[in-house]
Amino acid sequence: MTELLTAKLNRPRLAGAMIERPRLYAQLDRWCAVRAVVIHAPAGFGKSSLVNRWLETAGLVARTAWLNLDEDDADPARFVEAVAATLEPLYPGVLAQVRPILADMQGGPARAWRRLLSAIQAGSAKAAAADASEDGAASSHDDVLLVLDDLHRAQSDAVDELLLILLESGPSSLHLILLTRRRGSLRLARFHAHGELITLAADDLRFTGDEVADFLAAKGFATATDQELATVTARSEGWVTALQLATLSLRRPGDMRALLDALHGDR
């Protein structure tokens, strides 16, 4: 596995203290009951940080494969190999099953993708059988999350088709979290209509007044009034990047007047 590919498989590190967001965690906690979670919002809304922190609080890091996508992954063969490499630690041997098919001129990404999904299904069935023999009943602990970060960078008709194959006929134990700056062309209406999809957009990710209060308290604004909180929330529009940039611009930490002026200037 190349160093470049290995670097793409690392879950990003959380920078500093995080504001806990239980209202969003509660929605993400339903992941096991749906085929996919789609979070789409412009840059700076904290999509990756939200999911990253939720995985930690929910104790799901060990059951998660995280892939940071880029423009090269719009090529379906590259995409299949990258996903297989991401899932290899959770399903040992899947990468070795996929690579020969991708290298075969008579193979192709779609065939390799179906082989990958079959290998995952076989691995899940084996784990379920082991659980049943030990506990007397099959367990859901083999359910796995595949996070595709920056999906917008890799979207193409071919990649969309592969994702639809996974959603329509892939292993029920494999669940997607798609992080993207735009909704894209992926046809998800049917999954939404059948309750098989959780969607979060920019308006969901905006900080509420209470979350703004938590953010300010963490930044040393210990005495903010209700009116000041309301003004900060309105001027920032709940956009976490605006809040972060405004607080970083202050000469004196905790200076509410300067913060309000900085946010007023951003509008």
DSSP-derived secondary structure letter, 46: -
- At 267 the pLDDT is 44
Q: Is the pLDDT of residue 3 over 70?
A: no
Query: What pLDDT, in 10s, does the model give residues 63-115?
Result: 999 999 999 999 999 999 999 999 999 999 999 999 999 998 777 999 999 99
Query: What is the SS3 assignment for 186?
Result: coil
The CATH number of the domain covering residues in 3-205: 3.40.50.300
Q: In whole angstroms, how far apart are CA 230 and each of 31, 211, 234, 260?
A: 33, 11, 6, 11
Exposed e or buried b for every residue in 71-105, given b needs 16+ CB within 10 A? eebbbbbbbbbbbbbbbbebbeebbebbbebbeee
At residue 9, does pLDDT exceed 90? no
* Element containing residue 247 per DSSP (H, E): helix 240-248
Given a contact cutoff of 8 angstroms between Cβ atoms, the answer to whether 213 and 219 are in contact is no
165 by Cβ neighbours in 10 Å (0-12 / 13-18 / 19+) ranks as: middle
Residue 2, exposed/middle/buried by CB under 10 A (0-12, 13-18, 19+)?
exposed
Q: What percent of the chain has pLDDT over 90?
A: 70
Q: What is the pLDDT of residue 140?
A: 44
The confidence band for 127, taking pLDDT boundaries of 50, 70 and 90, is: low
pLDDT in tens, 131-190: 434 443 334 457 999 999 999 999 999 999 999 999 999 999 999 999 999 887 788 888
> In which element (H, E) is residue 201 found?
none
The DSSP letter of residue 254 is: T
Residues in the chain: 267
Report the SS3 class of residue 220: coil
Q: Compute the mean pLDDT over every residue in the chain, rounded to the nearest whole number.
A: 88
Give CATH 3.40.50.300 domain extents, the chain: 3-205
Q: What is the DSSP letter of 258?
A: H
